[in-house]
Amino acid sequence: MMNYCSKQNFIKIFRTIKFLLIFSGVLWSFSSCKHHKSGKDIIDHPQQGTIRICVDESFEPIISQQIMVFEASYSDAHIIVKYEPEADCFRDFQNDSTRMMIVARGLTEDESEYYNSVLGHRPNYSVMAFDAVSVVVNASARDSVFSLSQLRKILTDTVPGNIQAILDGENATSTVRYLMDSVTKGKPFGTNVRGVKGSKAVLDAVAENENAIGFIGSSWFGNKNDSEQTTYAQKVHLAYVESKKENNSIIRDTVVYAKPSQATIYSEQYPLIRTLYCVLKDNYIGVGTSFYNFMSYQRGQLIFRVGNLVPAKMNFTIRTVNNDTGSINKK
């Protein structure tokens, strides 16, 4: 009788232990799944996986080069890129449909605080390079030298003539925002200002109209290593814009006009300079962090340099060749 009772007790204890082990396993699995979900798609590694990013369309030529070299270097790492206006990039970033954006401004303090409250951390963002808003005119245009005051009058339609200003979008682009902030100083655009779909469409419109003046990101025009851009150079020219920074080597009464180049951007002689930011939501080491670091370090910075931007994270020197610094003096 004692042996039978002991056996029954042993079976009960064994079943209890078995139940506790199974229950603990279920709890562990649930906790693990919950933890994985909070990490949101943490399934990629620095050299393997896929990330969706959004890029300001005005930076497309240079960022497409960055992506091409990065993916060639890491064959198992893939970047799905969407080129669109700056405001749409910020919308997609907030809606969580993209984990990285490359735009012409960083996050405001309110935006950083919002993401900190949602994600539990602030997104990383950094200046990668400097470019400019280029002013382009038809190759047959009578004037290709402008003061900032003239550009302001053209954009607000307060200058005589039938000049048509062409922008890379009707609204929400970084170029439009920059011109409103830095040139018109908040004044609305005139009825002579027309938005087209993207930077290439700006070049096409200016190439077809002798009275048109266009505004685009500098990586879209002027790169002699890009065959498509050299083709446009037969129909479209870069305009000179009055410099807002004096050069100590020229006499006081001389006005300096500059076109966008690495030399005039680096020296701040060209007045319409912009900043290229990369904003990353991830706080773990994956493809996003890897691409972020790639652009920050030597190879990525050299790509910016070859693309006629000024890299922000490497030493940069200007060598004058045949006295071509990208600026002219005009009394």
pLDDT band at 270 (very low <50, low <70, confident <90, very high): very high
pLDDT per position as a tens digit, 231-266? 899 999 999 999 976 553 333 357 889 999 999 999
Q: Is the dihedral of CA 63, 68, 73, 77 positive or negative?
A: positive
pTM listed for this prediction = 0.82
List the domain boundaries for the chain: 49-130+273-311
pLDDT band at 13 (very low <50, low <70, confident <90, very high): low
Question: For residue 305, what are its two tokens?
Answer: 């340099």
Task: Give the list of residues 6+ apart from residue 196 with CB closer than 8 angstroms, or none.
Answer: 166, 167, 168, 169, 202, 204, 205
Question: For residue 92, what are its two tokens?
Answer: 């997609």
> DSSP letters along 227-250, please?
HHHHHHTTTEEEPEEE-SS--TTS
Question: Within 10 A of 84 (CB to CB), how many other CB atoms are there?
Answer: 20
Q: d(Cα 205, Cα 191) in Å, to the nearest integer?
A: 17
State the fold for domain 49-130+273-311: D-Maltodextrin-Binding Protein; domain 2 (3.40.190)
What H or E segment, with its residue span, contains residue 81?
Answer: strand 77-84
pLDDT per position as a tens digit, 131-158? 999 999 999 998 999 999 999 999 999 9
- Average pLDDT value for residue range 79-102: 97
Question: Within 10 A of 113 (CB to CB), how many other CB atoms are there?
Answer: 12
Whether residue 37 is predicted with pLDDT greater than 60 in this model: the reply is: no
